[in-house]
């Protein structure tokens, strides 16, 4: 009798386990895991998260990271299905053989070079300490562009990589003299009175590319319909991100004051997020010119607009 009861219990446990596994697999198939950093450049992804589930039944699981290195490691190892990431970092991963595609821009413009209040021009940057978040970044390119306007190069300054959250306080303490980084950290430096804006990105590099939406080849190939719905919904969310709506989304996900967000959102827009070949080729030329990469991926190999 005991053996019979035991057999029944065992069978029931196996049946329940199988049912639970089946439910888990079905649920997971409708989840898109997207990595992001808590910055204004990621707002299109953050805005889309709730909308896609309501429209298509596909849940976006937002996975927050504290650094670009952590985020790209998750992307490159397929722990997430995609990411809002620095385009130059994604290009480097693609160059190294990682299976990813850039499917949309993250935003337009939205970067500034912040300097100490006594710096009046790019010429004054000579010999100064300048922070960027990562060598593989549009921020590095923008610093190079600013220096070039003054007849200088990075050899004339001291470039250091610093965590974005540390830059405003580093400027205030005199540890650095200038920085360029994703928002809202530029606006934070201005807001606390530590510095001022020397250049906006659109003043140095028209139609500049910074962050982009990248998906893994695995996700695109295994779930093409979800990938298409995700990208379509993402672009639509970007088109609907007015300054007012962007601020609402930012207040939900970023711990920043109204003053910082209002300032930061004046420098950025999210409409028309398709990656054009012309804009990408301009990025490639700058990446080569400033020594970020000798052989960045070609547009046809890396950018996918036809999901």
Q: Answer whether residue 94 shows pLDDT above 80.
A: yes
pTM, whole model, 2 decimals? 0.88
Cα distances (angstroms) measured from residue 161 to each of 9, 104, 167, 172, 248: 59, 27, 10, 17, 31
Cβ atoms of 37 and 68 closer than 8 Å: yes
Q: How confident is the model at residue 27 (pLDDT cuts 50, 70, 90)?
A: very low
pLDDT for 54 equals 77
Q: Answer whether residue 290 shows pLDDT above 70.
A: yes
Residue 275's SS3 state is coil
Look at 274 and 49; give whichever has higher pLDDT: 274
Over residues 165-222, the pLDDT tens digits come to: 999 999 999 999 999 999 999 999 999 999 999 999 999 999 899 999 999 999 999 9
Cβ atoms of 184 and 254 closer than 8 Å: yes
Average pLDDT (80-92) is 98
For residues 247 and 91, what is the distance between their CA atoms, to the nearest angstrom? 30
Over residues 135-154, the pLDDT tens digits come to: 999 999 999 999 999 999 99
pLDDT for 6 equals 41
Q: How confident is the model at residue 284 (pLDDT cuts 50, 70, 90)?
A: very high
For 60, the token pair is 């976006």
DSSP 195-258: EEEEEEHHHHSTT---EEEEEEHHHHHH-HHHHHHHHHHHHHHHHT--HHHHHHHHHHH----H
Mean pLDDT of the chain: 90
For residues 221 and 173, what is the distance between their CA atoms, to the nearest angstrom? 49
Average pLDDT (249-264) is 94
Question: Which residues are 132's β-sheet partners?
Answer: 161
Question: Which residues are 212's β-sheet partners?
Answer: 85, 105
Q: How many CB atoms lie within 10 A of CB 307?
A: 16
Q: Which of 278, 292, 307 is nearest to 90 (CA)?
A: 292
pLDDT for 49 equals 84
Contacts of residue 261, defined as CB under 8 A and 6 or more positions apart, other chains included, come to: 40, 184, 187, 247, 250, 251, 254
Over residues 44-78, the pLDDT tens digits come to: 999 998 777 777 778 999 999 999 999 999 999 99
Cβ atoms of 270 and 108 closer than 8 Å: yes
H-assigned helices in the chain:
2-29, 43-56, 68-76, 87-95, 138-149, 167-173, 185-191, 201-204, 217-222, 224-239, 243-253, 258-265, 277-289, 299-302
For residues 112 and 201, what is the distance between their CA atoms, to the nearest angstrom? 6
List domains and CATH numbers for the chain: 28-108+208-302 (3.40.190.10), 111-204 (3.40.190.10)
Q: Which of 35, 39, 38, 36 is nearest to 264 (CA)?
A: 39
For residues 257 and 274, what is the distance between their CA atoms, to the nearest angstrom? 31
Cβ atoms of 216 and 81 closer than 8 Å: yes
Residue 24's SS3 state is helix
Share of the chain above pLDDT 70, in %: 91
Over residues 76-85, the pLDDT tens digits come to: 999 999 999 9
Residue 114's SS3 state is strand
Look at 74 and 17; give whichever has higher pLDDT: 74
pLDDT for 304 equals 96
Angle subtended at Cα 140 by Cα 135 and Cα 82, rounded to the nearest 5 degrees:
65
pLDDT for 30 equals 82
Contacts of residue 271, defined as CB under 8 A and 6 or more positions apart, other chains included, come to: 108, 238, 239, 241
pLDDT for 248 equals 94
């Amino acid at each position: 009798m005991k053996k019979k009861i035991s057999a029944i219990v065992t069978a029931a446990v196996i049946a329940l386990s199988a049912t639970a596994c089946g439910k888990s697999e079905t649920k997971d198939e409708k989840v898109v895991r997207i990595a992001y950093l808590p910055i204004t450049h990621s707002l299109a992804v953050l805005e889309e998260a709730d909308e896609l589930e309501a429209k298509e039944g596909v849940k976006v699981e937002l996975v927050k990271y504290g650094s670009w290195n952590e985020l790209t490691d998750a992307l490159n190892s397929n722990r997430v299905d995609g990411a809002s990431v620095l385009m130059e970092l994604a290009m480097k991963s693609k160059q190294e053989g990682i299976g990813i595609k850039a499917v949309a821009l993250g935003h337009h413009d939205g970067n500034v070079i912040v300097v100490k209040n006594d710096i009046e021009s790019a010429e004054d940057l000579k010999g100064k300490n300048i922070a960027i978040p990562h060598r593989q970044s549009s921020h590095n390119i923008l610093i190079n562009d600013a220096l070039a306007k003054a007849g200088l190069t990075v050899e004339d300054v001291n470039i250091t990589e610093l965590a974005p959250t540390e830059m405003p306080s580093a400027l205030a303490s005199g540890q650095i003299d200038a920085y360029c980084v994703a928002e809202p950290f530029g606006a934070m430096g201005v807001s606390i009175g530590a510095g001022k804006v020397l250049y906006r990105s659109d003043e140095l590099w028209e139609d500049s590319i910074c962050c982009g939406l990248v998906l893994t080849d695995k996700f695109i190939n295994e779930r093409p319909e979800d990938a298409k719905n995700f990208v379509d919904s993402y672009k639509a969310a970007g088109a609907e991100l007015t300054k007012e709506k962007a601020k609402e989304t930012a207040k939900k996900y970023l711990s920043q004051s109204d003053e910082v967000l209002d300032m930061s959102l004046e420098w950025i827009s999210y409409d028309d997020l398709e990656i054009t070949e012309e804009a990408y080729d301009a990025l490639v030329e700058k990446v080569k010119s400033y020594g970020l990469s000798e052989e960045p991926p070609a547009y046809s190999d890396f950018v996918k607009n036809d999901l």
